[in-house]
């Protein structure tokens, strides 16, 4: 009997010890692998048996529902500006030259070196919507650049519109990545350098210099026109205003004379003799004050004031 009691007690102790060990192991497992710390600037993507359950976006310490390997965590740096360099116009190896060589709309070949700046805005999409984000970005950037360069002339790419072309490439690249749901935001595409092939570089430099001279002369001519044309327009406006004023004055004077003549004609028809006499007297009143009277005594030789004949009264 005593042996049976001892065996049952020993079995109970072993079961209790095993349970304590099991609970301790589970607690240690959960305490070691059942949490995640999200640092500032990070998002933590949490998968449960391979299925996305949530994304922790707020920095801090978080407990998992189930520890690893039931739930796994992938951290992604969010809002961090990243940079990808494409090509080198001074390279000599065939692979790099092939990466930079592009055909323009006027059937010229140029070598373009550019940089893409981007940031991840969706952690889950960047990890699991695309297989290899960096490879996708590289291929999409090359495709976007070649498409825009293929619609532009060599002169525009080399000297005139590099900034505008970079903006257009950035918009097109963003559309491509959005189509793949890559979770990436393109911040800037900058064309750092564009050069023609080495064999024709001197000819391109001559063409570029001629284009710059043409632009300079056009700017100088435009500046001269901007200086001369406003002055000419002002003088023309002044002459036009003066002519219009003279015309209006003469028209008003003519209309006044015509009205005066009409009024005199009415009065003349009523009383011709009186009106004729009045006109004669008014005319004499206007003429006689301007006439110089010279009195000559008998026997004297008259001396005319010749110096004043053309001047009216002294």
pLDDT in tens, 235-272: 888 889 889 888 888 888 888 888 888 877 777 777 77
User: Which of 15-24, 211-220, 305-314 holds the top average pLDDT?
Assistant: 211-220
pLDDT greater than 80 at residue 166: yes
| Confidence class for position 221, pLDDT limits 50, 70, 90 | confident
% residues pLDDT > 90 (the chain): 10
pLDDT of residue 118: 93
Report the pLDDT averaged over residues 51-56: 72
82-196: which CATH topology?
Tetrahydropterin Synthase; Chain A (3.30.479)
User: Rounded to whole angstroms, how far apart are CA atoms 173 and 86?
Assistant: 14
Max mean pLDDT range (215-224, 288-297, 300-309): 215-224
pLDDT band at residue 170 using 50, 70 and 90 as cut-offs: very high
Q: Helix/strand/coil (H, E, C) string of the chain?
A: CHHHHHHHHHHHHHHHHHHHHHHHHHHHHHHHHCEEEECCCEEEEEEECCEEEEEECCCEEEECCCCCCCEEEEEEECCCCEEEEECCCCCCCHHHHHHHEEECCCCCEEEEEEEEEEEECCHHHHHHHCCCHHHHHHHHHHHHHHHHHHCCCHHHHHHHCHHHHHHHHHHHHHHHHHHCCCCEEEEEEEEEEEECCHHHHHHHHHHHHHHHHHHHHHHHHHHHHHHHHHHHHHHHHHHHHHHHHHHHHHHHHHHHHHHHHHHHHHHHHHCHHHHHHHHHHHHHHHHHHHCCCCCCCCCCCCCCCHHHCCCCCC
Mean pLDDT, residues 205-232 taken together: 79
Examine the pLDDT at 110 and tell me if it is beyond 60: yes
Mean pLDDT of 170-188: 92
Write out the two tokens for 173.
Answer: 């690249």
pLDDT bracket for residue 172 (50, 70, 90): very high
β-strand partners of 190: 115
Does 59 score more than 50 pLDDT? yes
Average pLDDT over residues 195-203: 63
Q: Say which residue, 16 or 75, is predicted with more confidence.
A: 75
pLDDT at 178: 92
- The confidence score (pLDDT) of residue 289 equals 77
Neighbours of 156 (CB within 10 A): 18
Which of the residue ranges 76-85, 92-101, 215-224 would you say has the lowest mean pLDDT? 92-101
pLDDT score for 314: 45
**Average pLDDT taken over every residue of the chain:** 76
* Domain residue spans of the chain: 10-76, 82-196
* Mean pLDDT value of segment 286-304: 67
Residue with the bigger pLDDT between 206 and 87: it is 87
Higher pLDDT, residue 39 or 111: 111
């Amino acid at each position: 009997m005593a042996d049976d009691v001892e065996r049952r007690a020993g079995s109970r102790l072993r079961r209790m010890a095993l349970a304590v060990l099991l609970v301790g192991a589970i607690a240690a497992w959960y305490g070691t692998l059942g949490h995640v710390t999200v640092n500032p600037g990070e998002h933590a993507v949490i998968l449960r048996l391979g299925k996305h359950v949530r994304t922790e976006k707020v920095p801090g310490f978080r407990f998992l529902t189930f520890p690893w390997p039931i739930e796994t965590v992938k951290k992604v740096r969010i809002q961090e500006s990243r940079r990808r360099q494409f090509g080198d116009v001074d390279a000599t190896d065939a692979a790099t030259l092939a990466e930079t060589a592009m055909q323009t709309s006027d059937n010229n070949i140029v070598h373009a070196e550019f940089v893409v700046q981007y940031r991840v805005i969706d952690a889950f999409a960047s990890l699991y919507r695309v297989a290899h984000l960096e490879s996708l970005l590289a291929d999409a950037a090359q495709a976007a650049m070649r498409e825009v360069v293929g619609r532009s002339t060599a002169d525009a790419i080399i000297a005139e519109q590099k900034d505008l072309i970079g903006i257009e490439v950035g918009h097109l690249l963003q559309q491509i990545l959005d189509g793949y749901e890559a979770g990436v935001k393109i911040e800037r595409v900058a064309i750092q350098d564009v050069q023609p092939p080495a064999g024709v570089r001197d000819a391109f430099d001559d063409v570029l210099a001629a284009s710059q001279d043409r632009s300079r002369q056009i700017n100088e001519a435009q500046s001269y026109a901007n200086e001369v044309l406003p002055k000419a327009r002002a003088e023309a406006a002044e002459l036009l205003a003066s002519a219009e004023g003279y015309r209006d004055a003469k028209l008003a004077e003519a209309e006044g004379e015509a009205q005066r003549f009409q009024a005199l004609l009415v009065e003349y028809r009523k009383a011709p003799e009186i009106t004729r006499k009045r006109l004669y007297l008014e005319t004499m009143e206007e003429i006689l004050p301007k006439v110089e009277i010279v009195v000559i005594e008998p026997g004297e030789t008259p001396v005319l004031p010749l110096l004043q004949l053309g001047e009216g009264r002294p």
